Structure 1
Amino acid sequence: MKQRSPGAQDAAEALAIQALTFIAADGERLGTFLALTGIGPGDIRAAAREPGFLAGVLDHVSSNEQLLRDFAAEAGVPPETIGKARSALGGGDWEREIP
């Protein structure tokens, strides 16, 4: 099994945070993201600290071809970089714990 390097993990987390910022900058994108994840706007910061959430952000970006292309262009990276970053984060799908 291939080990993830700490540098790759850090770079992947940084890209995911950039993706979250990109999503949050547009009301329509943010509304879709919140509806699909089931979290509220005030819960994003706490969710971002949960394992797997940043991977889920990249999953969300990758789930829509136009969103993927738009974010990749904004970030200045090829679209396949988002998939590589998602792999570097590892883990499964993020699911919100419902109290």
Structure 2
Amino acid sequence: MRNTLAVGRDFAETLALRALSWIAGEEDLLPVFLGASGLSAAELRNRAAEPDFLVSVLDFLLMDDAWVIGFCDAAGYDYTVPMAARQALPGGAETHWT
């Protein structure tokens, strides 16, 4: 497994694209993602490379531990990598409430 706690933006965007590919390949999950994003399949293809859209892909993936585990197991990442990637993208800085 690849374990990366601090990742750069390029890696984070690449990981988000891989996550999108994984989501698209999950027949039960793709309709959930399309419904949550409000996009059609055609719009999904057109927006796949947009950084703001990639943020939403990781936000969606991180909503459910089972999705994170499924993606990481399929892609060979440590379970902490999607969150580290999300933190590397705009708006992803971890909030500390203390």
Q: TM-score range by the shorter chain?
A: 0.7 to 0.9
Residue matched to 1:15: 15
In the superposition, the TM-score normalised over structure 2's length comes to: 0.80
Q: 1:52·1:91 contact (CA, 8 Å) conserved in 2?
A: no
Equivalent residue pairs, number: 86
State the SS of the aligned residue for 2:29: helix
Paired with 2:49 and 2:81, the residues of 1 have a C-alpha distance of 22
| Structure 2 residue 47 is the aligned partner of structure 1 residue 39 | no
Letter of the 2:55 partner, please give it. Answer: A
Q: 1:69·1:79 contact (CA, 8 Å) conserved in 2?
A: yes
| Structure 2 residue 27 is the aligned partner of structure 1 residue 27 | yes
Q: Which runs of 5+ in 1 are unaligned?
A: 1-6, 93-99
In the superposition, the TM-score normalised over structure 1's length comes to: 0.79
Higher helix share: 1
State the SS of the aligned residue for 1:52: helix
% identical equivalent positions? 36
| Structure 2 residue 63 is the aligned partner of structure 1 residue 63 | yes
Q: Which runs of 5+ in 2 are unaligned?
A: 1-6, 93-98
- Computed over aligned residues only, the root mean square deviation of the Cα atoms, in angstroms, reads 1.5
Letter of the 1:10 partner, please give it. Answer: D
Letter of the 1:29 partner, please give it. Answer: L
